[in-house]
Amino acid sequence: MAEPLAVQLLGPQPRVAKAGHPQPPPRGRKAWALLAYLLTTESAPSREWLAELLFADADDPLNALSWSLSQLRRLLGDESTIAGEPVVLRLPPGTFVDVRALTAGTWMQAIGIPGLGRELLEGMTFPACPGFEAWLLTSRRHLAGAADGVLREAARAKLSAGDAARAAGLASRLVAANPLDEDAQELLIRAYVASGDRVAARTQRDACVALFRRELGTDPGIAVIHAADPEWRQRAFPDRPATSAATAARLEAGLGALDAGAPDAAIGLLREAAAEAHEAGDGPLLVRTLLALGSALVHSVRGRDGEGAGVLLEAIDVAERIGAPESAVSAHRELGFVDLLRGRYDRAQRRLKDALELAGDEPDERAWALAIQGTASTDVGRYDDALMAFDEALGLAGADQPAHVVAWSWTFSGRACLLRDDLEAARDRLDKGLQAARALRWTAFVPLPEALLADVDLLEGKIDAASTAYEHAHALALQLGDPCWEGFAARGLGMVAASQGDAARALEWVTEARHRCVRLPDAWLWVEGYCLDTLCALALDHQRVEAGHWIDDLEALATRTGMRELVARAYAHRARLGDRVAGDAARVLAAEVDNPSLRLPE
């Protein structure tokens, strides 16, 4: 039996251990750099690519690469292989790799990583390898974001399990790292409340409000304001015994109020239903009420995703306690959706994987999990994976059937085709998505396929058609109060203005789009990246001084979240400012993206 292998790359002293015994380290830093790249890249690097990436300063780059590969073979042992063209690294089953545990493991696996919160190859620099330096910087920022996601998920899980003290400790780390993170502030306040320390909760809330007013000139959202004085679930008729029949009726009434467009009334009814189900001791019904309440908070009340996530985690805990974890499958999917919106893609994919496993052969749940998974994959530049997920979802749901998941999958798969400049496929899929949304009278969704179809029109030179569609999508999004759809449409109106030669108006529209799309704390961060990318291109086209600032913003957002194509585009924009090193870096970073239409500087 092979001895267990452990590879630790986070922190200042990377190491490989067998059966707990550290192995002699390789000579020099580049072997560690090579190992880190091979373990984390999703490209298939050729020997020539690796030689240029890390050993271009050597007299014989390919020979230097071969020497470093031989060092890694000795370090990892005979059970591992590093060979082939392209180079493929295979580790024995059961190998622990800290960066993989951080990005793909459960929070319970990741929270115990010795180097959690430390940098990849901390303290090492590679000034002679600018492309690798850029890759390492983006990887470090992405792993920092992944560590943040692990702490957040662990804090929520501890709070849901009743360990408020531990939840508060974890949330405090999040707030210390980013005091302007509303979700982290809300989580910490709720942890104080759950521990019984209302004074600490209100003190934290007041400090947060003061900080936001001082730094941002505005108050935090309602979720933070209300967190210190939560809306406890109370029964409407506490003098009557709770019964499953009455609770089921209240649940039905709450869902009906949601369908009727009355979210506040619906949430009040669902809170009562959850309180009744808890008192009645009806586990299956409690799971159903918690799922309904959590989903309503996530989808129907803007700015309440943090509270909704806590309710969904409670549903998962109850489902596991009654021995029916599959009954909370939609909670895993909804939590994945929440993480998707906030750019925590590693955690989102983990949740969606759990949802697919629990869904089994149930077609509707599988279709929705795949549809959200495809959306997340598109955001990070995994277009082939995304289109496979969407097509599978459409197959399960019936591509010609009137279902919300069908409208979603056609629309978001059309977005993937649009981003790859496959305009014919994009138009076909987006047309089907828009038709499906209208057939379902899903007015809240219509602005997205409409704005994306306008993108296709604009790229095909149909400026008048694009302008009309953007204007309608924007007006409808304003009526709905949806910041994400407002961002898509306003960005498009800016692009129309640019095509008409009105640079000032174009920048005004897209700047507004960038800010409006994230005006609420639970907005979809990818839309901000999409708008920032457009702002960078417009500013460079018209030699605006803001270009460098916007490029910095795009790079910071994209690297931390793992929006890999937008990372490459940020470096490509910087290359247009005359930075030759940034051009080399853009080509290295683009290797992580499966988009043949990605345009890079020559």
> If DSSP codes are grouped into helix, strand and coil, which group holds residue 499?
helix
Residue that is last in its domain, among 298, 323, 348? 323
* C-beta atoms surrounding 241 within 10 Å: 10
DSSP classification of residue 120: B
Whether 70 has a pLDDT exceeding 60, the answer reads yes
Closest CA to 147 of 185, 189, 105: 105
Q: 204 and 286: one domain? A: no
| Sheet containing 96-97: order of strands | 21-22, 15-18, 5-8, 96-97
Report the distance separating Cα 318 and Cα 478, nearest Å.
39
Q: 25 and 101: one domain? A: yes
Q: 37 and 105: one domain? A: yes
Q: What is the pLDDT of residue 507?
A: 97
Cα dist. 159→145, 229, 347, 354, 522 in Å?
21, 16, 18, 20, 20
pLDDT digits (tens, 9 = 90+) for 387-402: 999 999 999 999 998 8
Whether 88 is covered by a domain: the verdict is yes
> Directed axis angle between helix 525-541 and helix 564-576, to 10°?
20
Whether 328 is covered by a domain: the verdict is no
Closest CA to 484 of 453, 443, 514: 514
Whether 261 is covered by a domain: the verdict is yes
Q: What is the pTM of this model?
A: 0.93
DSSP classification of residue 322: T
> Directed axis angle between helix 447-459 and helix 404-419, to 10°?
30
Q: What is the pLDDT of residue 259?
A: 86
Q: Which residue has the higher pLDDT, 34 or 246?
A: 34
Whether 101 is covered by a domain: the verdict is yes
Q: Pairing mode, if any, of strands 5-8 and 15-18? A: antiparallel
Report the distance separating Cα 487 and Cα 509, nearest Å.
9
Whether 259 is covered by a domain: the verdict is yes
* Number of residues written out for the chain: 602
For residue 87, what is the domain's CATH number? 1.10.10
Q: Dihedral through CA 361, CA 367, CA 372, CA 375, nearest 10?
A: 130
Contacts of 353 (CB under 8 A, 6+ apart): none
- The arithmetic mean of pLDDT across residues 309-323, rounded, is 95
pLDDT digits (tens, 9 = 90+) for 93-133: 999 999 999 999 999 999 999 999 999 999 999 999 999 99
pLDDT digits (tens, 9 = 90+) for 50-63: 999 999 999 999 99
Residue that is last in its domain, among 178, 197, 227? 227
Contacts of 215 (CB under 8 A, 6+ apart): 180
Q: What is the pLDDT of residue 44?
A: 86
* C-beta atoms surrounding 196 within 10 Å: 10
Quote the domain boundaries for residue 178: 162-227
What average pLDDT is seen over the chain?
A: 93
Report percent pLDDT > 90 for the chain.
86
* C-beta atoms surrounding 461 within 10 Å: 9
Q: 197 and 283: one domain? A: no
Q: What is the pLDDT of residue 293?
A: 95
Whether 147 is covered by a domain: the verdict is no
Q: 117 and 167: one domain? A: no
Report the distance separating Cα 438 and Cα 442, nearest Å.
6
The number of angstroms, rounded, from the C-alpha of 267 to the middle of its chain's C-alpha atoms is 26
In the numeric block, the tokens 């683009």 are attached to 590
Q: 41 and 95: one domain? A: yes
Q: What is the pLDDT of residue 238?
A: 60
Whether 301 is covered by a domain: the verdict is yes
pLDDT band at 328 (very low <50, low <70, confident <90, very high): very high
Report the distance separating Cα 456 and Cα 419, nearest Å.
10
pLDDT digits (tens, 9 = 90+) for 218-231: 999 888 998 998 76
Q: What is the pLDDT of residue 300?
A: 78
pLDDT digits (tens, 9 = 90+) for 139-167: 999 999 999 999 999 999 999 889 999 99
The number of angstroms, rounded, from the C-alpha of 37 to the middle of its chain's C-alpha atoms is 22
- The arithmetic mean of pLDDT across residues 540-546, rounded, is 95
Q: 111 and 51: one domain? A: yes
In the numeric block, the tokens 């063209």 are attached to 85
Residue that is last in its domain, among 121, 143, 174? 121
> If DSSP codes are grouped into helix, strand and coil, which group holds residue 58?
coil
Is the peptide bond prior to 25 cis by the omega test (within 30 degrees of 0)?
Answer: no
Q: Which H or E run includes 449?
A: helix 447-459
Whether 521 has a pLDDT exceeding 70, the answer reads yes
Q: 199 and 280: one domain? A: no
Closest CA to 273 of 258, 259, 252: 252
How many domains are contained in the chain? 3
DSSP classification of residue 10: B
- The arithmetic mean of pLDDT across residues 310-324, rounded, is 95
Return the CA Rg of the chain.
25
> If DSSP codes are grouped into helix, strand and coil, which group holds residue 121?
coil
Least confident of 137-141, 260-264, 409-413, 582-586: 260-264
The number of angstroms, rounded, from the C-alpha of 156 to the middle of its chain's C-alpha atoms is 17
pLDDT digits (tens, 9 = 90+) for 161-205: 899 999 999 999 999 999 999 999 999 999 999 999 999 999 999
Whether 587 is covered by a domain: the verdict is no
pLDDT band at 601 (very low <50, low <70, confident <90, very high): low
Q: What is the pLDDT of residue 1?
A: 45
177 in Cβ contact with 148 (< 8 Å) = yes
Whether 302 has a pLDDT exceeding 80, the answer reads no
Return the biggest CA–CA distance within the chain.
86
Report the distance separating Cα 24 and Cα 125, nearest Å.
21
Q: 25 and 81: one domain? A: yes
Closest CA to 538 of 568, 600, 583, 493: 493
* C-beta atoms surrounding 264 within 10 Å: 10
Burial 112-148 (b: 16+ CB within 10 A, else e): ebebbbbbbbeeeebeebbbbbbbbbbbbbbbbbbbb
Q: What is the pLDDT of residue 391?
A: 98
> If DSSP codes are grouped into helix, strand and coil, which group holds residue 483?
helix
Q: 250 and 220: one domain? A: no
The number of angstroms, rounded, from the C-alpha of 184 to the middle of its chain's C-alpha atoms is 16
Report percent pLDDT > 70 for the chain.
97
Q: Dihedral through CA 448, CA 449, CA 455, CA 460, nearest 10?
A: -170
Report the distance separating Cα 37 and Cα 586, nearest Å.
16
pLDDT digits (tens, 9 = 90+) for 421-439: 999 999 999 999 999 999 9
Q: Which two tokens stand for residue 285?
A: 């019904």
Q: 105 and 71: one domain? A: yes
pLDDT digits (tens, 9 = 90+) for 330-388: 999 999 999 999 999 999 999 999 999 999 999 999 999 999 999 999 999 999 999 99
120 in Cβ contact with 100 (< 8 Å) = no
Q: 185 and 102: one domain? A: no
Q: Dihedral through CA 456, CA 557, CA 472, CA 256, nearest 10?
A: 120
Residue type present at position 354 = D
Q: What is the pLDDT of residue 120?
A: 97
- The arithmetic mean of pLDDT across residues 282-293, rounded, is 95
